[in-house]
Amino acid sequence: MKVYLMRHGQAESYAASDAERQLTEKGVSQARAMASVLASAPPVKAIASPYVRACQTALNVIDALPQDIPFETCDCLTPDEDPRTVLSWLATLSGPGPVLIVSHNPLVSLLVSLLVYGHQQASIAMSTADIACVSYDQLGAGTATLEWFEAAP
């Protein structure tokens, strides 16, 4: 399976709660720009953290692509979730993908490291709107291949 792991775009610093923080204009621009990276192999679905900034990022990416791409949220994609929990959740996804997953740090950096290197020491720093493409045949810690990494503008 192929998975695009994306950190949300730049978000406002403050809101009533962390979950309610929205994208800034730059964050919207980042998300829309990163859609061009996915245009040659668009996701078959997009799944995001339920936090506003992650949902806005995913929706801006898929809105910039010409295909209709289903969107959903998953409660296990919040910033402080255990990457091993997300690894178990990934095992429930089926099909070849690619699937776009939009989340937060520290989770997304730790998840990439767990999938590719088998540890949670954040070997790849994920800045806002960066995307790492990983693929795997058999899901487990250290079983994925990092296909490519694209930094956001």
Write out the chain's pLDDT in tens, 153 residues. 999 999 999 999 999 999 999 999 999 999 999 999 999 999 999 999 999 999 999 999 999 998 999 999 999 999 999 999 999 999 999 888 899 999 999 999 999 999 999 998 877 889 999 999 999 999 999 999 999 999 998
Q: Is residue 50 within 8 Å of 75, Cβ to Cβ?
A: yes
Q: Domain coordinates of the chain in residue numbers?
A: 2-150
**Three-point CA angle 118, 120, 122, nearest 5°:** 110
- Please give the pLDDT value at position 122: 72
Reported CATH class of domain 2-150: alpha beta
- Please give the pLDDT value at position 124: 85
- Please give the pLDDT value at position 71: 97
- Please give the pLDDT value at position 65: 94
Of how many residues is the chain composed?
A: 153
Give the CA distances from residue 81 to residues 3, 86, 95, in Å, rounded to whole numbers and listed in that order: 18, 8, 24
Bridge partners, 102 (sequence order)? 6, 48
**Three-point CA angle 111, 112, 113, nearest 5°:** 90
Give the contacts of 58 (CB within 8 A, at least 6 positions apart).
6, 31, 46, 47, 48, 71, 100, 102
- Please give the pLDDT value at position 107: 96
Distance of CA 42 to the CA centre of its chain: 14
